[in-house]
Amino acid sequence: MPKLILLISTFLLATNLVSMGHLDHEKGLHPVAKSGQMIVTYKGDCSKGNSKNAMNLIEDIIAYEKKNSPIKYSSAPGTWADESIGAVDLHASEKAMNKAFDWQANDKKWSKMFDDIAAACGITVNDFVIDTMKAK
C-alpha cells in the first residue's frame, strides 16, 4: 500500500508540474525582475584576448559567488551581440546589491578572479562597463 500511495503521489506531482509549465507557456514569459530588484550587467571587450578562456573564468567566479557570497543573488554568463563577454546579475534590492558589491571589493579571491577574467581578454577590470538598472 505505501508503494501505491508513493506511485500515485509521484504521478500527480509530475502531472501538476507538466500542466503548470504548459500554463506558463500560454501566458508568455515571466518578467525578468520584480519591482525594486536590481539588474547589473558586466561587459568587457575580449576581441584581443581569449574569450573562451574568459567565459570559463566567468563561470568559475559565478560558482565561487554562489558558494561564498553572504549576499545571495543570481548571475548568468554570456556573450553580447558585439562578442564582448560578461554576465548579468539579479539582486533582491539596491541595498542587497550594494552589500554584494562591498563583499566583492573586500574578497581577495573574488577580486583576483575578476582580474584573471580581464587579463584573459587583454584588458583590466576598469575596462569593463558595469551598468545597473532598478526594475519598476
- What is the layout of strands, in order, in the sheet containing 74-79? 74-79, 85-91, 38-44, 129-134
pLDDT of residue 99: 98
Q: Are residues 43 and 76 both part of a single domain?
A: yes
Q: Are residues 26 and 83 both part of a single domain?
A: no
In which domain, by residue range, is 125 found?
38-134
Q: Are residues 93 and 127 both part of a single domain?
A: yes
Q: Please state, in angstroms and as integers, the Cα–Cα distance from residue 31 to each residue in 38, 66, 97, following that order.
A: 13, 23, 19
pLDDT of residue 117: 98
If the chain, 136 residues long, is cut into consecutive pieces of 10 residues, what is the mean pLDDT of each piece?
Answer: 42 42 62 94 96 97 97 96 95 98 98 98 97 97
pLDDT of residue 29: 82
Q: Are residues 76 and 100 both part of a single domain?
A: yes
Number of domains in the chain: 2
* Cα-only R_g, the chain: 20
Q: Are residues 3 and 67 both part of a single domain?
A: no
CATH of the domain at 88: 3.30.70.100
